[in-house]
């Protein structure tokens, strides 16, 4: 059972997250011939104040 974990900053729409899940699933099906029904995708949404870039939070950088 292929299991993909995606980390990204909060703020994406449900539609965008759905697209990520669909495309990552299809990529695994294509790359390793995994049955689609066996693929799992987990999106971790991180608060912008919990993500650091060059010594600052993503929130303070306006990301």
The pTM of this model reads 0.87
**DSSP calls for 1-63:** --EEEEEEES---HHHHHHHHHHHHHHHHHHH---GGG-EEEEEEE-GGG-EETTEETTTTT-
Residues marked active site are found at: 2
Model pLDDT, residue 42: 98
Q: Report how far residue 2's alpha carbon sits from residue 39's, in angstroms, rounded to the nearest whole number.
A: 5
Report pLDDT digits (tens) over 13-51.
999 999 999 999 999 999 999 999 999 999 999 999 999
Model pLDDT, residue 55: 96
């Amino acid at each position: 059972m292929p299991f993909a974990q995606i980390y990204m900053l909060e703020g994406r729409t449900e539609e965008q997250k759905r697209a990520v899940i669909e495309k990552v699933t299809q990529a695994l099906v294509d790359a390793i011939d995994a049955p689609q029904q066996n693929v799992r995708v987990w999106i971790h949404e991180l608060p912008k104040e919990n993500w650091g870039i060059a010594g600052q939070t993503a929130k303070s950088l306006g990301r």
